[in-house]
Amino acid sequence: PYRTAIQKMGGCKTVTLKIKKSMTEDTARAVNVSKQFLDNLHKVERFHPCPMPVMRADGRIELLAPGMDAESMTFTAEAGFTPEVIPLEEATAALRDLLCEFPWTEDGGRSMAVSVSAILTVFAGSILPLGSVVPAFVYLGNAEGSGKTTLAQLAGITYAESPAADPAPTKEEEWQKKLLALAMSGRRVVLFDNLKTHLNSPSLEAYITSPTYCGRILGVTKEFSGDAGATLLITGNSLTMSPDMRRRCLLIELFMEQMKAEDRKFKRILDPETIREARPRIVSALWSIVRAWDEAGRPACSHNNTSFPRWSKTIAGMVEFAGFGSPLA
């Protein structure tokens, strides 16, 4: 709003005029670097697309309300729904129903447990301390059309939109540039889809096992160091990987018996629209699993992985407690 004084006969009268007008680009640039503006901004470490849990300083697990939370430095967006607490059996049934039509390989339920752990990692990852290492999730299929990309996208069901598939780099220099751009962007879920070669990247291994990632910005002499906090989802058919990469990943295996993917029959369509519709119910199921695990004394997983010990104790513990078995078996 701008104020102006209008001279009228008989005296001076002040009138307030409200004019809808954007500031100029130069003014915007000046505001963005001004100390008065920057000093009054909240420091945001995390962005939540819907109410998600965090661990308080006193050890309590709490579901954040929409808005800014100063203690956890988290901003939560308005999602249009509030997660409900439902019985644990109903929560696990909702997740099993979501995953029931995928062609799981015969591995005693391990692949489904890993898939559930990927979904919980995105939803409840803020329970882990900042800088905690989490595994990458690799979705393997024996043939095209097994559903691995759709299954990987379900890991991001917490978000309003499924994660878009990023083309995977093929050279180490490309991996360095891609991961630096990822650290600079602040993205929390990334899908590298349909890898066709042997996976062996020191840069990718460093990103997965380090709390931060740094590199030189292309075209300038400056370096950038940022949070390496994205959950990585990787898909491929008959994908192989180096031993160092394998120990940083958890594998999800699908086995399609049909010779042609188009011969498969489904009871429902699992597309982005269906996933969006299922989002409130699944988020409620995830929150209910977290609540039940917390109230039960936070039991740990029966297995441990020394590459990501905090994740093994927390997220893997929730998955096994909910009855899906150990994702680390």
pLDDT of residue 2: 45
Nearest to 73 by CA among 86, 82, 64: 64
**What is the distance between the alpha carbons of residues 206 and 245, in angstroms, rounded to a whole number?**
10
What lies within 8 Å, CB to CB, of 153 at 6+ separation is 162, 163, 191, 272, 275
Is the distance from CB of 181 to CB of 136 less than 8 angstroms? no
Contacts of 172 (CB under 8 A, 6+ apart): 201, 202, 203
Lowest mean pLDDT among 100-104, 184-188, 247-251, 275-279: 184-188
More confident residue, 108 or 22: 108
Q: What percent of the chain has pLDDT over 70?
A: 94
Decide if pLDDT at 12 tops 80: no
Task: Tell me: pLDDT of 313 over 90.
Answer: yes
> Rounded mean pLDDT of 122-143?
91
The whole-chain average pLDDT of the chain stands at 88
Residue 138, SS3 per DSSP: strand
- Burial status of residue 53 (CB atoms within 10 A of its CB: 0-12, 13-18, 19 or more): buried
From 31-35, 55-59, 256-260, the region with the lowest mean pLDDT: 256-260
What letter does residue 146 receive in the DSSP assignment?
A: S
So what's the pLDDT on residue 166?
84
* Predicted pLDDT at 167: 82
The arithmetic mean of pLDDT across residues 223-235, rounded, is 87
